[in-house]
A and B are shown apart, each in its own frame.
Chain A
Amino acid sequence: MAGDNTKTLVRMANQIGTFFEPYSEEEAVAGVQLHIEKFWSPAMRRDLVAYMDHGGEGLLPSVTKAFQRFTDPDDSPAERAILAPGNSGQMASDAG
Chain B
Amino acid sequence: MSLVQETDYGTKKSLSEKMVTLTIDGMQVTVPEGTSIMRAAMEMGTAIPKLCATDMLEAFGSCRICLVEIEGRAGTPASCTTPVAPGIVVHTQSDRLHRLRKGVMELYISDHPLDCLTCSANGDCELQDMAGAVGLREVRYGMDNLSHFDKNSELYMEKDESNPYFTYEPSKCIVCNRCVRACEEVQGTFALTIMGRGFDSRVSAGIAEPFLESECVSCGACVQACPTATLNEKAVIEIGTPDHSVVTTCAYCGVGCSFKAEMSGSKLVRMVPWKDGKANEGHSCVKGRFAFGYATHNDRIVKPMIRSKITDPWKEVSWEEAIGYAASELTRIQQKYGRDSVGGITSSRCTNEETYLVQKLIRGGFGNNNVDTCARVCHSPTGYGLSVTLGTSAGTQDFASVDYSDVILVIGANPTDGHPVFGSRMKARIRAGAKLIVADPRRIDMVKSPHVKADYHLQLKPGSNVAFVNAMAHVVVTEGLIDEAYVRERCDLGDFESWARFIADERHSPEASEQYTGVPAAQLREAARLYATGGNAAIYYGLGVTEHSQGSTMVMGMANLAMATGNIGHVGAGVNPLRGQNNVQGSCDMGSFPHELPGYRHVSDDATREMFENLWGRPLSSEPGLRIPNMLDEAIGGRFKGIYIQGEDIVQSDPDAQHVAAGLEAMECVVIQDLFINETAKYAHVFLPGSSFLEKDGTFTNAERRISRVRKVMAPLAGYADWETTLLLAKALGFEMEYSHPSEIMDEIAALTPTFAGVSFNKLDEIGSVQWPCNDDAPNGTPMMHVDRFVRGKGKFMLTQYVPTEERTSSKFPLVLTTGRILAHYNVGAQTRRTENTAWHPEDVLEIHPFDAEVRGVKDGDLIAIESRVGEVSLRAKVTERIQPGVVYTTFHHPVTGINVITTEFSDWATNCPEYKVTAVQIRKTNGPTYWQEKFAEEDISLTRILQAAE
Task: Please report the C-alpha to C-alpha distance between residue A2 and residue B912 in the assembled complex, in whole angstroms.
Answer: 18
* Given A2-B639, A21-B801, A22-B502, A44:B623 Cβ within 8 A: no
A88 to B601, CA, bound (A): 13
Q: Measured between alpha carbons, how far is A91 from B637 in the docked complex, in Å?
A: 31
Whether A41 and B910, one on each chain, are in contact in the complex, defined by CB atoms closer than 8 angstroms, is no
Q: Contact: A19 with B909, CB < 8 Å?
A: yes
Nearest residue (CB) in A for B549 is: A15
Instruction: Please determine whether B636 and A19 come into contact, CB atoms closer than 8 angstroms.
Output: no
> B768 at the A/B interface (Cβ < 8 Å)?
no
Q: List 11 A-B contacts (CB under 8 A).
A: A3-B636, A5-B636, A12-B912, A18-B801, A21-B801, A38-B602, A42-B623, A85-B604, A93-B388, A94-B602, A96-B380
- Distance in Å from the Cβ of A1 to the closest Cβ of chain B? 8
Q: Which residues of B778-835 are within 8 A (CB) of A?
A: 792, 796, 799, 801, 803, 806
CB-contacts of B600-633 with A (<8 A): 600-602, 604, 606, 622-627, 629-630, 633
A65 proximal to B (CB < 8 A): no
A82 within 8 A of B: yes
Minimal beta-carbon separation of A71 from chain B (angstroms): 18
Residues of A within 8 A of B552 (CB): 19
Contact B634 A2 (CB under 8 A): yes
Q: Is the CB of B801 within 8 A of A41?
A: no
Complex CA–CA separation, A95 to B556 (angstroms): 14
Chain B residues near A (Cβ < 8 Å):
340, 369-370, 380, 383-384, 386-388, 391-393, 502, 549, 552-553, 588, 593-596, 600-602, 604, 606, 622-627, 629-630, 633-634, 636-639, 792, 796, 799, 801, 803, 806, 905, 909-912
A94 and B803 form a contact (CB under 8 A):
no
Q: How far is the CB of A55 from chain B (nearest CB, A)?
A: 20
The 8 Å CB contact of B593, one of A91, A93, A95, is A95
**CB of A76 closer than 8 Å to a CB of B:** no
- A38 and B624 contacting across the interface, CB-CB below 8 Å: yes
Bound: A86/B602 CA distance, A: 10
Closest B residue by C-beta to A3: B637
Q: Verify A95–B383 contact, CB threshold 8 A.
A: yes
Question: B637 contacts A95, CB within 8 Å?
Answer: no
Point out the residue from B391, B553, B799, B801 that lies within 8 Å of A93, measured CB to CB. B391
User: Which B residues are CB-close (under 8 A) to A40?
Assistant: 624
Given A2-B636, A2-B639, A93-B387, 20 additional A-B pairs, CB 8 A: A4-B637, A8-B633, A8-B905, A12-B909, A18-B801, A18-B803, A19-B552, A21-B801, A38-B602, A38-B604, A39-B595, A39-B627, A41-B594, A43-B340, A84-B604, A91-B388, A94-B601, A95-B393, A95-B596, A95-B600
Minimum Cβ distance to chain A for residue B37 (Å): 52
Q: A34 CB to closest chain B CB, in angstroms?
A: 11
**Minimum CB–CB distance for A78 against chain B, Å:** 11
Name which residue of chain A comes closest to B627, CB basis.
A39
- In the bound complex, do residue A94 and residue B393 qualify as a contact, i.e. CB atoms below 8 Å apart? yes
Residues of chain A whose beta carbon lies under 8 Å from any beta carbon of chain B: 1-5, 8, 11-12, 15-16, 18-19, 21-23, 35, 37-44, 82, 84-86, 88, 90-96
**B387–A19 CB distance below 8 A:** no
Chain B residues whose C-beta falls within 8 Å of the C-beta of A15 in the assembled complex? 549, 909
Q: CB-CB < 8 A to B370: which residues of A?
A: 41
Q: Tell whether, in the assembled complex, residue A95 and residue B630 are in contact, meaning their CB atoms are under 8 Å apart.
A: no
Q: How far is the CB of A50 from chain B (nearest CB, A)?
A: 13
The interface residues of chain B, by DSSP majority, are classed as loop
Q: Are B796 and A4 in contact (CB under 8 A)?
A: no
Which residues from A are CB-within-8-Å of B636? 2-5
The 5 closest A-B pairs by CB, nearest first: A2-B637, A95-B383, A94-B600, A84-B604, A15-B909
Shortest B167–chain A CB gap in Å is: 47
Instruction: Name which residue of chain A comes closest to B633, CB basis.
Output: A5
User: Nearest Cβ in chain A — how far from B502, in angstroms?
Assistant: 6
Name the one of A23, A41, A86 contacting B626, with C-beta atoms under 8 angstroms: A41
Whose C-beta in chain B lies nearest to the C-beta of A83? B604
Most chain-A Cβ atoms within 10 A of its Cβ — which of B626, B629, B630?
B630
- Other-chain residue from A4, A8, A35, A41 in contact with B625 (beta carbon distance below 8 A): A41
A52 to B912, CA, bound (A): 22
**Chain A residues whose CB sits within 8 angstroms of the CB of B796 once the complex forms:** 90
A17 to chain B, nearest CB (A): 9
Out of B595, B634, B801, which one reaches A22, CB within 8 Å? B801
Contacts of A90 in B (CB 8 A): 796
State the CA gap A76–B218 with chains docked (Å): 63
Compute how far the CA of A43 lies from the CA of B369 in the bound complex, rounded to whole angstroms. Answer: 13
CB neighbours (8 Å) of B905 from chain A are: 8
What residue of chain A has the Cβ atom nearest to residue B389's Cβ? Answer: A93
- A2 B380 Cβ-Cβ under 8 A: no
For the complex, give the distance between the alpha carbons of A37 and B595 in Å: 10
- Residues on the B chain within 8 Å of A16, using CB: 909-910
Please, which residues of chain B bring their CB within 8 A of the CB of A86?
A: 604
Tell me the complex Cα distance, A63–B606, Å.
Answer: 27
Contacts of A18 in B (CB 8 A): 801, 803, 909
Measured between C-beta atoms, what is the minimum distance from B597 to chain A in Å?
10
Nearest A residue (CB) for B379: A95
In the complex, the chain A residue whose C-beta lies closest to that of B806 is A11
Please state if A84 and B622 are interface contacts (CB–CB under 8 Å). Answer: yes
- Report Cα–Cα, A18/B910, bound state, in Å: 11
Alpha-carbon distance A11/B912, docked complex (angstroms): 11
Minimum CB–CB distance from A5 to chain B (whole Å) comes to 5
Given A19-B803, A95-B380: A4 in contact with B600 (beta carbons within 8 A): no
List the A side residues contacting B384 at CB < 8 Å: 95-96
**Least Cβ distance of B342 to chain A in Å?**
13
Contact A23 B634 (CB under 8 A): no
Cβ of B626: which chain A residues have Cβ within 8 Å of it? 41, 44
Q: Which residues of B contact A35 (CB under 8 A)?
A: 910
Complex interface: chain A residues within 8 A of B910 (CB) = 16, 19, 35, 39, 96
Neighbouring A residues of B806 by C-beta, 8 Å: 11
Contacts of A84 in B (CB 8 A): 604, 606, 622-623
Distance in Å from the Cβ of A74 to the closest Cβ of chain B?
Answer: 20
Is A96 touching B383 in the complex (CB atoms < 8 A)? yes
Which residues from chain B contact A1 at a C-beta distance below 8 Å? 637
For A22, the chain B residues whose CB sits under 8 A away are 502, 799, 801
B633 touching A19, Cβ below 8 Å:
no
CA distance A2 to B638 in the complex (A): 7
How distant is the Cα of A3 from the Cα of B625 in the complex, in angstroms? 19
